[in-house]
Structure 1
Amino acid sequence: MSSQTMYGFSSLTTFATLVITMATVLVFFVLKNRKVLLSVKSEQHQLPPGPPTLPFIGNIHQMMWNKPAVFRWIHRLLQGMDTDIMCLRLGAIYVVAVTCPEIACEVLRKKDEVLASRPATFASGSFSFGYKGTIVTPHGEKWKKMRRVLTSEILTPSMEQKLHHLRQEECDHLVTYINNTCMACPDNLVDVRHVARHFCGNMIRRLVLGKRYFGSELPGSSASGPGHDEMAHVAALFTLLNYLYNFCVSDYFPALIGFDLEGHEKVSKDVMGILNRLHDPIIEKRIIERSNLRNGGECKEARDFLDVLVYLDDADGQPLLSVDDIRAQIVEMMYATIDNPSNAVEWALAEMVNKPEVMKKATDEIDAIVGKDKLVQESDIPRLNYLKSCIREAFRIHPYHAFNPPHVAMVDTTIAGYTIPKDSHVILSRMGLGRNPKIWNKPLDFQPERHLNTANVLLSEPGLRFISFSSGRRGCPGISLGTSVTMMLFAKMLQGFTWTKPAGVDRISLQESNTGALALAEPLVLQAKPRLAAHLYEKN
Structure 2
Amino acid sequence: MSPISNLFTDNTMSVPPYAILVLTTIITVLWFLLKRSPQPPLPPGPRGLPIVGNLPFLKPDLHTYFRDLAQEYGPIFKLNLGSKLTVVVNTPSLSREILKEQDINFSNRDVPLTARAISYGGLDIVWLPYSAEWRMLRKVCVLKLLSRKTLDSFYALRRKEIRERTRFLYEKSREKSAVNVGDQLFVTMMNLMTNMLWGSSVKAEEMESVGTEFKGVVSDITRLLGEPNVSDFFPWLARFDLQGLVKQMRVYARELDAIFDGAIEKMTNLGSKNDGECKDFLQQLMKLKDQEANSEVPITINHVKAVLADMVIGGTDTSTNTIEFAMAELIKNQESMKRAQHELDEVVGKDNIVEESHITKLPYIVAIMKESLRLYPTVPLLVPHRPAETTVVGGYTVPKDTKIFINVWSIQRDPNVWENPNEFRPERFLDKKSCDFHGTDYSFLPFGSGRRICAGLALAERMVQYTLATLLHSFDWKIPEGHVFNVEDKFGIVLEAQKPSYCHACSEVV
Q: How large is the RMSD of aligned CA atoms in angstroms?
A: 2.6
Read off the aligned partner of 1:256 and give its amino acid letter: L
Read off the aligned partner of 1:304 and give its amino acid letter: D
Read off the aligned partner of 1:173 and give its amino acid letter: E
Q: List gaps (5 residues or longer) in structure 2.
A: 1-37
Q: State yes or no: 1:324 paired with 2:312.
A: no
Q: State how far apart, in whole Å, the 1-side matches of 2:244 and 2:419 are.
A: 41
Q: State yes or no: 1:305 paired with 2:297.
A: no
Q: Paired residue for 2:152, among 135, 158, 161? A: 161
Q: Give a deviation string over 1:55-90, Cα, whole Å, max 9, x none.
A: 333222323xx3x43444333322333x22221122
Q: Paired residue for 1:279, among 260, 266, 269? A: 260
Q: State how far apart, in whole Å, the 2-side matches of 1:530 and 1:393 are.
A: 26
Q: State yes or no: 1:86 paired with 2:77.
A: yes
Q: State yes or no: 1:257 paired with 2:238.
A: yes
Q: State yes or no: 1:77 paired with 2:69.
A: yes
Q: State how far apart, in whole Å, the 2-side matches of 1:75 and 1:117 are.
A: 24
Read off the aligned partner of 2:318 and give its amino acid letter: N
Q: State yes or no: 1:176 paired with 2:167.
A: yes
Read off the aligned partner of 2:278 and give its amino acid letter: A
Q: Give a deviation string over 1:71-119, Cα, whole Å, max 9, x none.
A: 44333322333x2222112233221112211111111111110011112
Q: State yes or no: 1:388 paired with 2:383.
A: no
Quote the offset at 1:449 in angstroms: 1.1
Cα 1:45–1:513, aligned 2, differ >3 Å: closer, same or farther?
A: same
* 1:128-277 pair list within 5 angstroms: 128-183=119-174, 185=175, 187-210=176-199, 217=205, 226-227=208-209, 229-244=210-225, 246-277=227-258
Read off the aligned partner of 1:51 and give its amino acid letter: P
Cα 1:300–1:353, aligned 2, differ >3 Å: closer, same or farther?
A: same
Quote the offset at 1:211 in angstroms: 5.7
Q: Paired residue for 2:495, among 514, 518, 526? A: 518
Residue 444 of structure 1 corresponds to which residue in structure 2?
Answer: 422
The SS at the match of 1:396 is helix
TM-score, scaled relative to structure 1: 0.81
Quote the offset at 1:525 in angstroms: 0.6
Cα 1:516–1:118, aligned 2, differ >3 Å: closer, same or farther?
A: closer
Quote the offset at 1:455 in angstroms: 6.1
Q: Give a deviation string over 1:365-404, Cα, whole Å, max 9, x none.
A: 1111111111111111111111111111111111233210
Read off the aligned partner of 1:276 and give its amino acid letter: D
Q: State how far apart, in whole Å, the 2-side matches of 1:421 and 1:389 are.
A: 39
Read off the aligned partner of 1:244 and give its amino acid letter: L
Q: Give a deviation string over 1:173-209, Cα, whole Å, max 9, x none.
A: 22112212333x4x33111001111111111111111
Quote the offset at 1:463 in angstroms: 0.7
Q: State how far apart, in whole Å, the 1-side matches of 2:252 and 2:444 are.
A: 30
Q: Paired residue for 1:53, among 48, 51, 57? A: 48
Read off the aligned partner of 2:357 and give its amino acid letter: S
Count of paired positions: 472
Q: List gaps (5 residues or longer) in structure 1.
A: 1-42
Contact 2:88/2:407 (8 A) holds in 1: yes
Q: State how far apart, in whole Å, the 2-side matches of 1:117 and 1:317 are.
A: 27
Q: State how far apart, in whole Å, the 2-side matches of 1:482 and 1:517 are.
A: 14
Q: State how far apart, in whole Å, the 2-side matches of 1:44 and 1:516 are.
A: 34
Provide the identity percentage.
Answer: 27
Q: State how far apart, in whole Å, the 2-side matches of 1:138 and 1:317 are.
A: 22
Q: State yes or no: 1:362 paired with 2:340.
A: yes
Contact 1:170/1:199 (8 A) holds in 2: yes
The SS at the match of 1:257 is helix
Residue 12 of structure 1 corresponds to which residue in structure 2?
Answer: none
- Which protein is bigger by CA-based radius of gyration? 2
Contact 1:91/1:252 (8 A) holds in 2: yes
* 1:496-515 pair list within 5 angstroms: 496-505=474-483, 507-513=484-490
Read off the aligned partner of 2:237 and give its amino acid letter: L
